[in-house]
């Protein structure tokens, strides 16, 4: 009787072992996908320069008629950030970032983009999600009081585009 019980237990164990890979084993599989994302931005500005000419101290002057054009020549929407120099190239005048330039300071204001405002020395977003195409804008220059006749001054405005 003991042997029958042992054989019975062994028989049950063999059946469980025989079916266990089918019942307890998990399987997995994979799918490999391949893709080539395309899309780029290509930022351009026209005109590349502007001469405001002579401007007296404690005054401002603007371009008009949406003089400048911001182009997104790419294939996807673009956010645009803008900044400028902390001083003029001649180092005679310094940048004021709030539109109230003091003695020997200047401010630059960007009009007609999504977020008009004064330029700083760090990139700040002025336009969002410009689809491939263009948008026009103007620039206003503010000059504070002058300690002397500084002569012709130059500063650079930098534009940077990033994918929206």
| Residue-level pLDDT, tens digit, the chain, 164 residues | 666 666 666 666 666 666 555 555 578 888 887 777 778 889 999 999 999 999 999 999 999 999 999 999 999 999 999 999 999 999 999 999 999 999 999 999 999 999 999 999 999 999 999 999 999 999 999 999 999 999 999 999 999 999 88
- State the number of CA atoms in the 13 A half-sphere of 109 facing the CB: 17
**SS (HEC) of 92-105:** CCEECCCCCCCCCE
Residues found in the chain: 164
pTM over 0.85: no
Spatial distance between the Cα atoms of 21 and 52, rounded to a whole number of angstroms: 84
Residue 150 CA to its chain's centroid (Å): 35
Answer whether 75's CB lies under 8 Å from 133's CB.
Answer: no
| Ordered domains of the chain (ranges, CATH) | 43-163 (2.60.40)
Q: Return the DSSP state at 145.
A: -
Kindly state the tokens that stand for 14. 């063999």
């Amino acid at each position: 009787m003991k042997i029958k019980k042992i054989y019975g237990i062994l028989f049950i164990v063999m059946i469980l072992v025989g079916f266990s890979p089918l019942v307890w084993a998990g399987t997995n599989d994979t799918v490999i996908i391949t893709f080539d994302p395309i899309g780029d931005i290509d930022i351009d500005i026209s005109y590349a320069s502007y001469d405001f000419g002579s401007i007296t101290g404690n005054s401002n002057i603007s371009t008009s008629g949406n003089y400048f054009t911001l182009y997104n020549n790419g294939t996807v929407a673009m956010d645009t950030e803008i900044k400028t120099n902390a001083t003029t190239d001649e180092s005679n005048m310094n940048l004021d970032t709030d539109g109230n330039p003091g003695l020997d300071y200047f401010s630059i204001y960007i009009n007609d983009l999504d977020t008009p405002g004064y330029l700083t020395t760090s990139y700040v977003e002025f336009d969002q999600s410009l689809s491939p195409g263009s948008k026009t804008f103007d620039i206003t220059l503010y000059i504070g009081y002058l300690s002397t006749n500084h002569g012709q001054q130059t500063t650079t405005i930098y534009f940077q585009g990033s994918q929206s």
